[in-house]
Amino acid sequence: MATTKVQKEMTGIVQNFISLWNRYYNLYLENVSRQDISAEKENEFLKFQGTVVEQLVNVLELDEKSRFDIHDKVMSVLNEVVSLDFYTRLSEFQINRTKHQWQEAMEELEKLYRFCDTYDPKVDKVERIAEVKKKNPYWDPTAGGLRDVVSRIAIAPVTFFQGIKIGVPANKIGVFVFLIFFVPVLVILTITFLLNFDTVKAVGRHSLIEAGILSSDEVGFMASLITGVAILAGLLLISAGISIVFIILHYLFSWFLHLGFKLTGARESYTETFKVASYGATPFLAAITAPYAIALQIIGGSKVHKYSYFLSAIGWIIGTVLFLAFIFVILGTTFYFTKVIPPVGARYAYVQTVEAGLYSRFDGKESAKVIRGTYLNFAKPEETPKEETKNIGERPNRRKASVYEVKYKNESYYVEKDKVKTIEFAYSNMPGFIIDRSVHIIAIARDSLRKKILEYSE
């Protein structure tokens, strides 16, 4: 028996309609005969049918699942018996079919009564959400391919992030993270290879010759095919390698982002933050980096962790600052143990032009070149007098250059004063130093690669 107020109200509505439906059968479907039909009786019947339809509307609002079955079965009877006179003229087979349809409608009503008698709003809410998840793709936002996911994020990011908190399998997240980094890296490298195809082809062929796969005099279709396959394999391997580095940094960033969210009141687990960071990084697919990705991650943090956009934004800032600080600490520690960081208080000559020549102290000729970002130890801290640098060639304006005497790879050289700036190292300028060192290392690697490519392409 119904115990709650809601259950009593719902069962009362169904019970009233069942009573009405029984009267409809007993008064008109079972006992009516042609002799009983009069204008008054016909009018009474039509009014009764109108009452049935009015009460049916209230019944159909009780349960979305069964309302279509109840509606169809009740209306099939009412549509069959359009009037008493018409009903009495039906064949015996048609009358029996109508009674059978009435019975089917009664069975559906009894099912609805049992549903209302045991109705639990909490259970019903869960079931309704499950139904919505099946019909609404945003409740399963990762369903479909990469294009489907990207389009949902772009069109309705708020609804998308409301959906991922329901639960997304871990394997889907891992595949998605790999794709959002691998695809743009592959596209960029492919374009770079195509723009420099002759050089890439020469490098690929040279590498195959050095590996013994091709001979130096081997040409033709097969040689070109092998070279093409090697270039493609190299392209995929390089793209995968770069993507793996990005993925490692992404996992690290997600951890610090979760820490930032937690400090501002987030409720959910790290897994949910990782979803936010991963799907929020989708703009990388279109090589759109910071602005849109940041906005998506802030929206995702708010919806997944159930708090305001403002707190989500503060949490994102805290997490990002902590992440960058961690990266600086790792780089600083690495530079310290590799003796790249100079002693505190030491003065260095920092190369601030694209290139700077290093001149021999003995014959004044340029013996080496260094690129921007190179740190040179002073052999003598003071500026070398011009009269002591007579061997160094004249400047375009015919004036002797002012130089410093510096150490480079354990050798002494002269470097022109206006090509460098003096820096006294301190821990306060550590962040700037780490950035300079990182840029410098990248520049060295790029320069070495360029020279190697030119060597192979000749």
Q: At what angle do helices 197-210 and 430-457 cross, to 10 degrees?
A: 80
pLDDT attached to residue 399:
45
- The number of CA neighbours under 13 Å toward the Cβ of 445 is 6
Q: What is the pLDDT of residues 152-190, one digit of tens each?
A: 777 777 777 776 755 556 566 777 888 888 888 888 888
- The number of CA neighbours under 13 Å toward the Cβ of 5 is 0
Q: Mean pLDDT for the chain?
A: 77
Confidence of residue 394 (pLDDT cuts 50, 70, 90): very low
Q: Are 351 and 374 in contact (CB under 8 A)?
A: yes
pLDDT attached to residue 200:
77
Name every residue whose Cβ is closer than 8 Å to that of residue 20 and which is 6 or more positions away in sequence.
51, 52, 55
- Asked whether the predicted pLDDT for residue 318 surpasses 90, the reply is yes
Strands 366-371 and 355-360: antiparallel
Q: What is the pLDDT of residues 216-241, one digit of tens each?
A: 666 777 777 888 888 888 889 988 99
Task: Calculate mean pLDDT across residues 367-391.
Answer: 67
Q: What is the pLDDT of residues 210-221, one digit of tens each?
A: 777 777 666 777
Cα 74 from Cα 351, distance rounded (Å): 90
Q: What is the pLDDT of residues 259-291, one digit of tens each?
A: 999 998 887 888 888 888 888 888 766 655 667
Tell me the domain boundaries of the chain: 5-119, 148-337, 347-429
Residue among 47, 303, 58, 36 nearest 165 (CA): 303
In CATH terms, the fold of domain 347-429 is SH3 type barrels. (2.30.30)
Strands 366-371 and 375-378: unpaired
Q: What is the pLDDT of residues 334-354, one digit of tens each?
A: 777 766 666 666 677 778 777
Conformational region of residue 145, where left means phi above 0, alpha means psi within -120 to 50, and beta covers everything else? beta
Confidence of residue 142 (pLDDT cuts 50, 70, 90): low
Confidence of residue 92 (pLDDT cuts 50, 70, 90): confident
**Burial class of residue 47 in the structure, from the number of CB atoms within 10 Å of its CB (0-12 exposed, 13-18 middle, 19+ buried):** exposed
Residue 431 tokens read as 């962040």
Cα 218 from Cα 225, distance rounded (Å): 12
Domain 5-119 has CATH 1.20.120: yes
Cα 430 from Cα 436, distance rounded (Å): 10
Contacts 24+ apart (CB under 8 A), 330-336: 331/434, 331/437, 331/438, 332/430, 332/434, 335/434, 335/437
